[in-house]
Amino acid sequence: MISIVLIAIFVFQVLPKISKKVSELEEKAMEQKLTDNNEGNKYGALIVIIVLLIFLVVALVS
């Protein structure tokens, strides 16, 4: 009987707190990943624009 009560307390009190902490950590990791991807996309677009400008200058000169 006591073990059932202890299991119920663990399941309904401890596990939700643990899962909430884990989901918060996962959310922070996802946000960090998104900001890293945005930084990479920003520099990638900049490089593409510079390369296209170089091609444009070469085409105009020749």
11/4 Cα distance (integer angstroms): 10
d(CA 29, CA 22): 11
For residues 37-55, average pLDDT: 84
Global pTM exceeds 0.75: no
Residue 31 and residue 39: Cα distance in Å, rounded? 12
pLDDT digits (tens, 9 = 90+) for 53-62: 999 998 888 7
Provide the residue ranges of all domains of the chain, joining segments of one domain with +. 1-62
